[in-house]
Amino acid sequence: MDSPLGLLAELTYRCPLACPYCSNPLNLAGYQDELTTDEWLRVLTEAEDLGVMQCHLSGGEPLLRRDLVRLVAHAHALGLYANLITSALGFSRPRAEQLRAAGLDHVQISVQADEPTVSDRIAGIPSFRRKIEAMGVVKELGWPLTVNVVLHRHNIDRVADVLALAEEVGADRVELANTQYYGWAWRNRAALLPSRAQLEAAETVVRAAHERLRDRMDIVYVIPDYYSRYPKPCMGGWASRQLTVTPNGDVLPCPAAQSLPLPRASVREDPLERIWAEAPVMTAFRGTDWMPEPCRSCPRREVDFGGCRCQAFLLTGDAARTDPVCYLSPDHGLVARAVGAANADSRDDDPPLVPRPHRPGLPPVAR
């Protein structure tokens, strides 16, 4: 594609939750100088000029931005499809009604499990009841509702109950996304990676639910890369279909790319169109010319694009390596060993989880 289809606007990395699987960067303090309202309005305008059609408002917790309603109204005026990705903490009915009037098109609410004790333990604070109440408000106000559940070793055995909860709240779509190991999830990988037996049991449940609910609810199940024969296709190809703008204005081809040793590109320094077309962070792995062997001669090179550059960097220290998830990668042993540890008969206790720090504060945001 010549232009991106979607923009992930990470409005803030502040968040009231402390989920140990969060993909936000470890150096949260480096993103406190958030874009102002006027800067975000300009970003949205430049995104629409670039050809973006979908705007996903995320974080952290985007509801912590006091200007969220104004940003939604601007996206709506530009003709962008606006999707709110939220923990739902702060999604009061008055705030929801303001967002509805502003033109918000869709709401995605995360939940950590199907019942309060487990969900609140994973989230780090009591939040389950408020999430369920917010889902009710979403349905009452006529929005389509997606329920997102990040799966891992500590909740994947509850998939059947999670699906029952999604039915109960009237979700139109449920995303069962096995953890992707970036940010805090990377730090907690040993404690989060499920066993093969857990995955097989979950997949059986999901297949049955998909057949039973196919006319009522869309079920998306994302398997963990580490158990795949081939890697996922890196956002449909590096800097091909989507871009991410972080809270401080950095522009990335995907949310995890801040970990890569590539030159910084910022909307505070250049227009979005120039960044998309020319910035090294966008062009470094675009297409297939950069590929080493075995990717270069592989018939799948334009199917999975060599896999995930961020995953390759985290596992090998070299973003240009073949993603070690691929069984053809010379580094595949790195993944095989992690999977072996997750399935070891001697594994009696899980390593301790390191929670993502709470950052619920509301620093002033310039209007």
| Average pLDDT of the residues of the chain | 93
Q: Is 310 annotated in some ligand binding site?
A: no
Report pTM: 0.94
Residues with Cβ within 8 Å of 334's Cβ and at least 6 positions away in sequence, in order, are 315, 316, 324
**Closest by CA position to 68, among listed 48, 51, 46, 44:** 44
pLDDT at 347: 64
Residue 364 pLDDT > 50: no
**pLDDT band of 235, cuts 50, 70, 90:** confident
Residue 111 pLDDT > 60: yes
Tokens of 126: 């009591």
Residue 357 pLDDT > 90: no
Tokens of 211: 């057949």
pLDDT tens for 316-341 read: 999 999 999 999 999 999 999 999 99
Residue 13 pLDDT > 60: yes
Q: Looking at residues 224-240, what average pLDDT do you find? A: 89
Q: Looking at residues 199-213, what average pLDDT do you find? A: 96
Between strands 242-245 and 251-252, the pairing is antiparallel
Q: Looking at residues 77-102, what average pLDDT do you find? A: 97
Domain that holds residue 225: 1-366
Residue 1 pLDDT > 90: no
The percentage of residues in the chain with a pLDDT greater than 70, rounded to a whole number, is 96
Residue 49 pLDDT > 50: yes
**Closest by CA position to 154, among listed 349, 356, 357, 23:** 349
End-to-end CA distance of the chain: 35
pLDDT at 234: 79
Give yes or no for a cis peptide into 25 (omega within 30° of 0). no
Token pair 């985007």 in the structure block, residue: 62
Q: Is 108 helix (H, G, I), strand (E, B) or coil?
A: strand
Using CA atoms, how far residue 177 sits from 33, 154, 274, in Å, is 30, 14, 33
Token pair 């950095």 in the structure block, residue: 250
Token pair 């990717």 in the structure block, residue: 295
Number of domains the chain contains: 1
pLDDT at 348: 66
Q: Is 249 exposed, middle or buried (0-12, 13-18, 19+ CB in 10 A)?
A: buried
pLDDT at 155: 97
Rounded-to-integer distance, Cα 9 and Cα 24, Å: 13
pLDDT tens for 256-303 read: 999 899 999 999 999 999 999 999 999 999 999 999 999 999 999 999
**Closest by CA position to 111, among listed 97, 124, 123:** 123
Q: What CATH number does the domain containing 101 carry?
A: 3.20.20.70
**Closest by CA position to 365, among listed 11, 8, 9, 1:** 11
Q: Is 22 annotated in some ligand binding site?
A: yes
